[in-house]
Structure 1
Amino acid sequence: MTTSTHPVGTVIVTGGARGLGAATVDAVRRAGGRPLVIDRVAPDSDVEHVIADLADSSAAERAVDELVEIAGGRLDGVFTAAGIDSCGRLDTVPAKDWERVVHVNLLGTAAVVRAALPHLKKTHGRVVTCASTLGIKAVSDATAYCASKFGIVGFSRALAAETAGELGVTMLVPGGMTTSFFDDRDEQYKPPPDAKLNDPADVAETVLFALTQPPGCEVRELVVCSSTEGSWP
């Protein structure tokens, strides 16, 4: 039995300069699609992009508009991979750092999706949001990250209900990956040396799977983690 898939088309990837975002850019390209990137830094690869800070909702919306214009007015998908963290107890993380996590992870996601909606409705396109296993399981010293990712869970589910029949919405719930996400953390907040983390290229293939489902077939939620992931279940 063969599986019918839909062409991936033109896809905006936030945080596409590195990590899971960059891996998804590669996956979209291999599938014959056209990736477009929003990030605070320029990607290493030769990919069309706009530099913007997702903590600034207006800048995020302008970036979407600019990329859609670059793409000739067509948009088939969005993957909101951009995310940051600020580890520590609530009373030790500076308020501005704490709030920036929520601004980038949750409000930045909402701003990008809001700007993309009119274009995605025209193509019956797809949104893949990026939550986390810590959007389902709360842990100490991660109030900002958990708040933002729990927010993505609620946002994604409500968006799916709100846009049912108009576009597809999938929430990705990834576990830890071998990316630079943990590099700037204090040692106590880094994965232990024996931690088993997923390859972002493998997780990117699940994003591509969600983006290429045939019309009317909805993959609403995907949990993708190492078989020994400590934060799942």
Structure 2
Amino acid sequence: MNGRYEGRVALVTGAASGLGRATARRLAAEGARVACLDLLADDAGLGPVGLAIAVDVRDEAGVAEAVDRAVDWGGGIDLVVTAAGVASFGHTTDVALAEWDRLLAVNLTGTFLTARAALPHLRARQGALVTVASLAGVRGYRYSAAYSAAKGGVVALTRALAVEYALTGVRVTCVCPGSIDTALTRNLTPVPGADPRLLAHGRALVDPPVSQPEEIAAAIAYLGSPEARFATGAVLRMDGGAGA
């Protein structure tokens, strides 16, 4: 593992599990100190190079406080990864307004609040922001009106921020995974009465058709590193050919 992040400080939301945890561990393996944000305080097993902060990314004041705490701990922030997310799928006519609100609040508003709080600190260090969207945010996806709307919003937000902050030295990019082998994916409730033809739509073409979180974390580590200097505004699909 190279030392691309030696002397750097990262902040990762959703770091207690799944992709967020894999990303925090990947960045630490490359030399970073990592502030790990999640609903429950969990340093992703990083020990002295990790800081566990409990926060709900929907909480405006809580997010601002968490970012400030991470800055005080690390002396600044060089990379922010917004990996906190929730998902559910179902027939659009069955989606309750409360569920619509929950998916947008965590996936989109949480990304916005984290970015807004962190951007002044990233600007001070000419750092990078990597957002996590989804294949569902860049192409039609079955039974996912709310989730797709939220993740599509993350993609649009990423591009807007990339343009707005390009001249400040802050880079903003997005990774769009397909299916990832995480507890979040495994615990999704099947859609009642789902059409098999739609379930086959958007499946990965590679074998096995599901990625490991460490594979996506490797892409995030690249996008957040100086090696990706020319990638600002990029939206990287990691979907095994499902969207090809």
Shorter-chain TM-score above 0.5:
yes
- The Cα shift of 1:17 comes to 0.7
3-state SS of the aligned residue for 1:48?
A: strand
Identical pairs, percent: 31
3-state SS of the aligned residue for 1:226?
A: coil
State how far apart, in whole Å, the 2-side matches of 1:104 and 1:8 are.
30
- The Cα shift of 1:7 comes to 5.0
User: Are the aligned partners of 2:8 and 2:78 in contact in 1 as well (CA < 8 Å)?
Assistant: yes
User: Are the aligned partners of 2:78 and 2:125 in contact in 1 as well (CA < 8 Å)?
Assistant: yes
- Verify: 1:139 aligned to 2:141, yes or no: yes
Alignment correspondent of 2:33: 34
**TM-score, with length taken from structure 2:** 0.84
Residue identity opposite 1:10 in structure 2? V
State how far apart, in whole Å, the 1-side matches of 2:159 and 2:136 are.
16
Alignment correspondent of 1:97: 99
The C-alpha deviation readout for 1:195-228, integer Å capped at 9, x for no partner, is 710111111111111111248433522111224x
- Verify: 1:224 aligned to 2:228, yes or no: no
State how far apart, in whole Å, the 1-side matches of 2:141 and 2:239 are.
17
Alignment correspondent of 2:203: none
State how far apart, in whole Å, the 2-side matches of 1:179 and 1:216 are.
30
- The Cα shift of 1:104 comes to 0.6
Specify whether residues 128 and 122 from structure 1 end up closer, same or farther in structure 2 by C-alpha distance, changes over 3 A only: same
User: Are the aligned partners of 2:58 and 2:113 in contact in 1 as well (CA < 8 Å)?
Assistant: no
State how far apart, in whole Å, the 2-side matches of 1:95 and 1:208 are.
36
User: Are the aligned partners of 1:6 and 1:213 in contact in 2 as well (CA < 8 Å)?
Assistant: no
Count of aligned residue pairs for this structure pair: 226
The RMSD of aligned alpha carbons is 2.5
User: Are the aligned partners of 1:86 and 1:93 in contact in 2 as well (CA < 8 Å)?
Assistant: no
User: Are the aligned partners of 2:130 and 2:173 in contact in 1 as well (CA < 8 Å)?
Assistant: yes
State how far apart, in whole Å, the 1-side matches of 2:211 and 2:229 are.
30
The answer to which structure has the higher helix fraction is 2
Alignment correspondent of 2:224: 211
State how far apart, in whole Å, the 2-side matches of 1:20 and 1:99 are.
23
State how far apart, in whole Å, the 2-side matches of 1:90 and 1:59 are.
32
- Verify: 1:170 aligned to 2:173, yes or no: yes
The C-alpha deviation readout for 1:126-168, integer Å capped at 9, x for no partner, is 0001111100112242111001011011100010000012201
3-state SS of the aligned residue for 1:49?
A: strand
Alignment correspondent of 1:181: 184
- The Cα shift of 1:97 comes to 1.9
Unaligned runs of 5+ in 1: none
Higher mean alpha-carbon deviation, 101-110 vs 209-218, is at 209-218
3-state SS of the aligned residue for 2:141?
A: coil
3-state SS of the aligned residue for 1:217?
A: helix
Unaligned runs of 5+ in 2: 201-206
State how far apart, in whole Å, the 1-side matches of 2:228 and 2:237 are.
22
**TM-score, with length taken from structure 1:** 0.88
Residue identity opposite 1:126 in structure 2? A
- From 65, 69, 72, the equivalent of 1:69 is 72
Alignment correspondent of 2:159: 157
User: Are the aligned partners of 2:155 and 2:235 in contact in 1 as well (CA < 8 Å)?
Assistant: no
State how far apart, in whole Å, the 2-side matches of 1:187 and 1:71 are.
42
User: Are the aligned partners of 1:15 and 1:22 in contact in 2 as well (CA < 8 Å)?
Assistant: yes
Alignment correspondent of 1:10: 9
Specify whether residues 163 and 208 from structure 1 end up closer, same or farther in structure 2 by C-alpha distance, changes over 3 A only: same
